[in-house]
Amino acid sequence: MALLIFSLVFLALICFLFLYCFRNKHGSPKSFPIVGMMPELLLNVHRVYDWHTETLDRCRCTFLVKGLWFGNMNTMVTCDPANIHYIMTSNFNNFPKGSEYKQMFDFLGDGIFNSNSDLWKKQRRATYEFVKKQQFHNFLSKTTRDKVENGLIRVLDHVTDLGSTVDLEDVFQRFMFDSTCILFIGNDPRCLSVEFPEVRFSKALDEVVEAIFYRHVWPLSFIKLMRFLNIGQEKKYKKAWRVLDDIIATIIRRRRKELKEGSASEIGKDGVDLITSYITEEKPTGLECDDKFLRDTVLNMMLAGRDTTSAALTWFIWLVSKHPTVENKIIEELESIIVPPEETKKRRLFNADEVKNLVYLHGALCETLRLYPPVPFQHKDTVEADVLPSGHRVDPNMRILFNLYSMGRMNSIWGEDCYEFKPERWINKHGRIKHEPSYKFLSFNAGPRTCLGREVAFIQMKMVASDMVYNYRFRVSEETPVVPSLSILLHTKNGLMTRVSSRWD
């Protein structure tokens, strides 16, 4: 098996020479005997998002990636809104996440992102019941405000006083890690501080999602070989998974003990964090809340809470720093809500109620998510053979991949100015927020799997974004390129190295 795999890889490398001479510049990538399109994919893996975008643009938003023969790697890649609406809504039951998805994301266990059918419905219902509570929303607003004031602002003031460069992506990840821990496990790890302590959980999570990206590139047999030999990305994956399990197991044991002894921390006494709510309620919506269920739930929520919002804030600050006109309009909108007006032109923090209805800020955040979706792609499996609205046939067990990054860069979807950062795109002629259908703007998913945390994410993003833009100026280092990393989450490859200065001092 090993000899066969390495022979195929060697053959793919030989095909690179032919690829330069014979690649198709007007359609789908060149497919070779035995190795399929693997040569061009491997040649472009370092820029896979842009390669997909260029190919989808040539192929009218849908094309078939042909993998190794007998490797079961054929994948239908699409960013066609009609196809996405059909798969996510019209014929939802024929396109589950499937067993292959669960194998790729096996570290998530039976959590809400991995599950299907009845288990998924029960978890979704339980999560919905939790996040819709007014008590939770009050807790969310208070937690975000406290973490901004006592964490984010202190760190930014510190680096401002030093005149040093700071990685804002790291700052946002620390901010969201602390906030997510408070909301879901009732504990503040305080990793957002001027000491910038090492966070084992975050480091392990980064290594896991990077390894999963490469699982989308290599044949399953090659991944199994690496796992068996305990080498490469699979070795890092296994070690990181063990770290995550150990940390979460400790958290669950401590919370159960605190609740039993009545010694829960101040954060958890109200029972508004997720894990406390699940432990204290008797089988919420029919779920068995054993340690395995709690482990899977916590890990799924930590992944969603820490990485998606921190990635969105990173790209938002980068885009705003490059577009001073947008920055000035956000500041003008913020000044318009300050009462009395003479309080403007000095430091100020905004609460959730003040910023929730801001139109231009909302547009700027949506425009960031359109161009740089935190989850740049997702995939589905096919149960029964079908024909998509685009006319492409999909066979049973065929993987379908949605490319959200490419969708935001399609002229046919967003117009000739699709590459431009234009918050006005999200404002209608009446000056209100313009609604775009979810199958066109897929950052919060669509259909029955629409993200339950959309409102939570916008509350956090608006509070952080308004406080940062209003009170600070950001100058991103030109020495460190800001490009996407190779991951299932759209982080930057080199961080967002930035000099911060106070706007009002």
CATH, residue 327? 1.10.630.10
Q: Would you say 297 and 455 are in contact if contact means Cβ atoms under 8 Å apart? A: no
pLDDT score at 282: 60
DSSP 402: E
DSSP 492: B
Q: Is residue 48 part of a domain?
A: no
Q: Is residue 327 part of a domain?
A: yes
Question: What are the binding residues for heme?
Answer: 451
Q: Would you say 51 and 30 are in contact if contact means Cβ atoms under 8 Å apart? A: no
In the chain (505 residues long), the average pLDDT of successive 10-residue segments reads 48 45 58 79 86 94 83 86 96 88 87 84 86 87 93 95 94 94 87 92 88 82 87 92 92 85 57 78 72 90 87 97 97 92 81 94 98 93 95 93 96 96 96 94 92 92 96 92 90 94 87
Q: Would you say 274 and 184 are in contact if contact means Cβ atoms under 8 Å apart? A: yes
- For 487, the token pair is 């991951």
Q: Is residue 69 part of a domain?
A: no
Domain that holds residue 426: 74-502
Q: Is residue 261 part of a domain?
A: yes
pLDDT score at 11: 47
C-alpha 254/C-alpha 177 separation (Å) is 19
Q: Would you say 191 and 177 are in contact if contact means Cβ atoms under 8 Å apart? A: yes
Q: Which residues pair with 499 in a beta bridge?
A: 165, 475
pLDDT score at 306: 82
Q: Is residue 56 part of a domain?
A: no
Q: Structural domain tally of the chain?
A: 1
pTM for the structure as a whole: 0.89
pLDDT score at 339: 82
pLDDT score at 194: 93
CA dihedral 82, 87, 89, 91 (to 10 degrees): 120
Q: Is residue 1 part of a domain?
A: no
DSSP 30: P
Q: Would you say 380 and 98 are in contact if contact means Cβ atoms under 8 Å apart? A: yes
Question: What are the binding residues?
Answer: 451
Q: Is residue 398 part of a domain?
A: yes
Q: Is residue 344 part of a domain?
A: yes
C-alpha 143/C-alpha 137 separation (Å) is 10
Q: Which residues contact residue 224 at a Cβ distance below 8 angstroms, ignoring those fewer than 6 apart?
A: none
pLDDT score at 424: 97
